[in-house]
Structure 1
Amino acid sequence: MSNHKVLGIIGGGQLGSMLCQAASKINIKTKIYCDDKDAPAQNYSDEFIYGAYNDDDKIIEFANQVDVVTFEFENIPVPTLKKIKSVKPVYPDPNINFIIQDRSREKKFINDLGIETVSYKKISSQKDLENIDKLIPGILKTTTLGYDGKGQYIISKNNDLNKIPLNNDFILEKKITLKKEISVIITRYQNGSSATYEPIENIHKDQILDTSTIPSSVSNEITNLSKKYAKLLADKLDYIGTMCIEYFIDENDNLLVNEIAPRVHNSGHLTINAYNVSQFESHVRAVCNLEKIEPKMTSKAVMKNIIGDEIFEYRNKETNSDEFFFDYLKKESKNKRKMGHITKLLD
């Protein structure tokens, strides 16, 4: 089993920070490349390189200084990742991002495996707006570069669509009556074996994750199906590392994939305190080809995101012994920006 000693990470946000912390725990050095000179992960990495993602020379120089490369967010230009891959292994594979960066490609990939999603239609021109009655009310989403509700429009009636400039490719998704949202974190290793965490129950506010709880309150049947789908998706993508599958459960208990996040995920933060091995350590182990540790839940838990100015009140708060406060050390608090989280262990 080869042991990579220096892990290169593209992106320097809180996920990068937590990857660095997990890596240092198992004696892997980290080097971050990021286009934000204030990126908080530099507080935790062994080395930090500030540069643009399209600066080929600098990116290749970075790749030459590490053994293997991973990333903490999926919207890095695929050509950049492919350039790095010409020099060093990149996990997960950049071709996966090509599928997942585009909502219509992603949905087709999922549906082709016999896994359900909400009904949808690709909208590239005015002509595509004909015969869409059965998708209204719906949500219009840009096919690329949307997260935390960005690039999304609620469509309650057909003429709402006339107000939106169709200068992008969109997909129109049918709005469903949502009973629950869950996510499954899975790590797949280079030998093809995988390790799955128990489903996490998520509650969103203003389209941003508010709380995540384990164990989730879903049936055994849904639990088993959500893990089975996660494994099928990871295997079909030939995925290496940790990924998250977000699911909707509708009023009829249908399990629908909402989206795939090809990276460690916000809903999995509670694995740091409530499992024997966190999603971050599992990811580092997988991409660095280290031994697999089977995840075991050591406590029930709930994680709450700390958004915007809420961080100031938490910084001055005493925490109890069963609470774990994480401050992402971001330079500036912004409305709707994730500034930290707190995990509370439950009996």
Structure 2
Amino acid sequence: MTVIAPGATVGILGDGQLGRMMALAAAEMGYFVHVFGPEADSPAAQVSHRSTVAPYSDLAALEAFAKSVDVVTLEFENIPTETLDYLAAFVPVRPHARLLEVTQDRLLEKSFINSLGIGTTTFANVDSIDALVGAVARLSAPAVLKTRRFGYDGKGQVKITGESDLDAVWAEMKNAPSILEGFVNFRMEISVIVARSANGETAAYVPVENRHKNHILDITLAPADISAPLAERAMEIAEKIAVKLDLVGLLAVEMFVTEDNQVLVNELAPRPHNSGHWTIEACATSQFRQIIRAVCGLPLGDPARHSNAVMRNLIGDDVEDWEAILKDPASSLHLYGKREARAGRKMGHVTKLFPLGTKPTA
């Protein structure tokens, strides 16, 4: 594969905070960045060389974008695969559209993971109220009904208990194609972020523990407090999935660790991930530098950490604590340039480092 050298332009589909941190990393490495997304004054556009504000279906804007960049990647996976196919006629697109077809659909995603001999929670396709009734009878309650596409941070999902009115639940889903997932009594949620280059080189970051509040990631502790064999198993799973998807770029693999130390894959995200923000301060190569390396055909960087870390999201009005955070010399504050703080909106994050060999504490 031809190396895309510094001085070239990286195109990023999506204009949020992940794109912002990708653009900053790319600039530090000598690349220009052109972001494409629907929002004016977006977090990514604020720090990029160029930006295009247009819908992902605007073919004229997409063609102009493609002709202005040397490679295209993404910071947001819910982009129409038709958009990636159209861009691929002009410029390399990494990751490819077929990968998104799998990761955008929870049913296809879990079926693919199971086909590799990797465990997930039990699940069933639900496309009608009758299918929901049958799925609940087979999987039993509690369970979680999720839309097959586009849900995130708790959106597009409903928990089902033995007392739930299934007609009301299905009405709440508005007849959207869905998947029922059996409830997992897990000990911990972890994630592994793995990079893969076009020549097949892979590099995985250590598994981290993720703790949520109101269905949104609150705190990530790096590393997760799990045994070395379990950590190795989680990293092997992530690398296997990346290879079988023919990934070029970055993949976050969210997993459950059960009480009997099984590792079950929950979701995939083919982009930088909230649970990898700690790598900016704590690793030789951050997840954001790593994705630029991967999609530009550079050798992958070392994912090893030089410190343990805790990353905390700043959600909504949490951002008002910025002054107190800055008074702590051990805290690294990242703000995303969003003009309005709203409930549930990720406004920034803060990371604290701990020496290797010590346990990171929230």
Please classify the TM superposition score into its range, dividing by the shorter chain length.
Answer: over 0.9
Of 276, 287, 293, the residue aligned with 1:279 is 287
Aligned to 1:204: 212
Q: Does 1:60 align with 2:68?
A: no
Shift of 1:158: 6.4
Q: Is the 8 A contact 1:323 1:343 kept in 2?
A: yes
SS at the partner of 1:336? coil
Select between 166-175 and 144-153 the one with higher mean Cα deviation.
166-175
Q: Equivalent of 1:194, from 202, 205, 219?
A: 202
Q: CA deviation at 1:317?
A: 4.2
Q: 1:140 maps to what in 2?
A: 145
Aligned to 1:298: 306
Aligned-residue offset at 1:253: 1.5
Structure 2, unaligned runs of 5 or more: 356-362
> For residue 359 of structure 2, what is the aligned residue in structure 1?
none
Cα deviation, 1:271-306, whole Å, max 9, x if unaligned, reads 000001100100000001112222121101000000
- The match for 1:334 is 342
AA in 1 matched with 2:215: Q
Q: Would the aligned equivalents of 2:325 and 2:333 in 1 still touch at CA under 8 Å?
A: no
SS at match of 1:191: coil
* Structure 2 equivalent of residue 87 of structure 1: 90
Question: In the TM superposition, what is the alpha-carbon distance from 1:52 to its structure 2 partner?
Answer: 1.2
Give the C-alpha shift of residue 309 in structure 1.
Answer: 1.0
| 1:221-278 Cα shifts (integer Å, max 9, x gaps) | 2101101111110000000011100001122221100000010100000000000110
Identity %: 39
Tell me if 1:20 matches 2:2: no
8 Å CA contact 1:185, 1:244 repeated in 2: yes
The SS at the match of 1:334 is coil
Partner of 1:223: 231
2:14 to 6, 11, 21: 11
TM-score of the two chains, using structure 1 as the length reference: 0.97
Shift of 1:321: 2.9
Tell me the residue number matched to 1:157.
Answer: 162
- Pair 1:235-2:243 in alignment: yes
- 1:300-319 maps to which residues of 2 (within 5 A)? 300-315=308-323, 317-319=325-327
Q: Secondary structure at the match of 2:326?
A: coil
- How high is the TM-score relative to the length of structure 2? 0.93
Runs of 4+ aligned residues of structure 1 deviating over 4 Å after TM superposition are: none
Check if 1:50 corresponds to 2:58.
no
Residue by residue over 1:92-113, the C-alpha shift from the partner in whole angstroms, topping out at 9 and shown as x without a partner, is 1111111111100000000000
User: Counterpart amino acid of 2:146?
Assistant: K
Could you say which residue in structure 1 is the equivalent of 2:360? none
2:124 and 2:135 in contact (8 A); partners too = no
Question: 1:344 and 2:352 equivalent?
Answer: yes
- Are 2:221 and 1:213 equivalent residues in the alignment? yes
- Describe the SS at the equivalent of 1:40: coil
Q: How many residues align?
A: 347
Once residues 268 and 281 of structure 1 are traced to their aligned partners in structure 2, the CA distance between those partners, rounded to angstroms, is 12
RMSD: 1.3
Partner of 1:2: 3
Residue 166 of structure 2 aligns with an amino acid whose one-letter code is L
From the superposition, tell whether residues 89 and 324 of structure 1 become closer, same or farther in structure 2 (CA, over 3 Å): same
Long gaps (5+) in structure 1:
none
